[in-house]
Amino acid sequence: MDRFNAMRIFTRIVELESFSKAAEDLQIPAATATYTIKQLEARLGVRLLQRTTRHVSPTLDGQAYYQRCVRILADVEETEAGFGNSGVAPRGKLRVDLQGTLSRHYVLPRLQEFFARYPDIELEIGMSDRLVDLVREGVDCVLRVGELRDSSMVARRVATLQQVTCASAAYFERHGTPHTLEDLRAQGHRAVNFYSASSGKMFPFDFIVDGEQRSVVLPGSVSVSTAEAYAACCASDLGLVQLPRYHVETQLRSGEFREVLAQWRPHAMPVSVLYPHARQLSPRVRVFVDWLSDVMSVAN
């Protein structure tokens, strides 16, 4: 087996912490992965991996070799794809994870455009709101909504989403229409509350008043953790919601939902693509991120 393939096998074992998972990911026999690492360690004269019954981890030499392998493999891929004028186009499998409702609204309806432009790229798409370990799970990039906290990733902002506070017209007929933040409590308004599925944290309603953010917590009969359930509970007249406008654009235009307190809308919600530093030179990642940026530009 050539050295570049050995490097690819080694990096996936480090990232997945498993010979068998790496072999499955690369679609090779597990015995091939084991033999390749033995040969690699023999050739280098150092032990690269520590093996236990539960997982595999790199030694100090293995970690140093891993970092160099990642850079070398990225350079090779970039070099091979750099001869665009000779007809070489990005190719191979690209693993991405997209925020569910955002991808269904903006990305999936236009996927055919991407494949028309890059027919040799195969997309493996996951859709979730959970925190994905890109390196360990072998994901090339993710599309996420909200402020970013992982500084170890390369991030590119591709859109900002206007947020609205709204409820169904039938709800306002029963409870009245709030014209100030004080009316929310004075009129006894209720909320469909939204919480994080990963942390369990309940999100308050945010408003910008005189340049300062004010958070309001309202009582409610139901709490949900998905955007679809959030909008559905609003349609069932269960209370106020605060969410990106695209979720409820149709209902707002029809009059089924009504926006309130528009003068104190919260800050627009950022949308970003994140990918590991090791993937930043990958032609597949680069063209997909550029395409996503173009697709999401309509959301601004």
Q: What angle do CA 80, 86, 89 make, to 5 degrees?
A: 55
Q: How confident is the model at residue 284 (pLDDT cuts 50, 70, 90)?
A: confident
Q: So where are the chain's domains? A: 3-81, 89-158+270-299, 163-267
CATH 1.10.10.10 assigned to domain 3-81? The reply is yes
- Distance CA(45)–CA(36), nearest Å, equals 14
Contact between 23 and 33 (Cβ < 8 Å): yes
Alpha helices in the chain (DSSP H): 3-16, 19-26, 30-44, 60-81, 100-102, 111-117, 134-137, 169-175, 181-186, 227-235, 249-254, 283-296
Residue 162: how many other CB atoms lie within 10 Å: 14
Number of H helices, E strands in the chain: 12, 15
The whole-number pLDDT of residue 86 equals 47
Token digits for 85? 């004028």
The highest-level CATH class for domain 163-267 is: alpha beta
Q: How confident is the model at residue 150 (pLDDT cuts 50, 70, 90)?
A: low
Average pLDDT over residues 21-43: 90
- Distance CA(138)–CA(156), nearest Å, equals 19
Kindly tell me if the per-residue pLDDT of 174 is higher than 70.
yes
Amino acid at 117: R
Average pLDDT over residues 200-208: 93
Q: How far is CA 265 from the centre of its chain?
A: 25
Q: Is 6 helix (H, G, I), strand (E, B) or coil?
A: helix
Token digits for 105? 């609204």
Contacts 24+ apart (CB under 8 A), 49-58: 49/13, 49/14, 55/17, 55/18, 56/13, 56/14, 56/17, 56/18, 56/19, 57/14, 57/17, 58/14
Asked, colleague to colleague, whether 3-81 and 89-158+270-299 share their fold, the answer is no
Q: Is 242 helix (H, G, I), strand (E, B) or coil?
A: strand
Q: Look up the pTM and report it.
A: 0.70
Kindly tell me if the per-residue pLDDT of 261 is higher than 70.
yes
State which fold the 89-158+270-299 domain adopts: D-Maltodextrin-Binding Protein; domain 2 (3.40.190)
- Distance CA(127)–CA(98), nearest Å, equals 5
Q: How confident is the model at residue 82 (pLDDT cuts 50, 70, 90)?
A: low
Contact between 194 and 165 (Cβ < 8 Å): no
The whole-number pLDDT of residue 268 equals 93
The whole-number pLDDT of residue 176 equals 96
Kindly tell me if the per-residue pLDDT of 171 is higher than 90.
yes
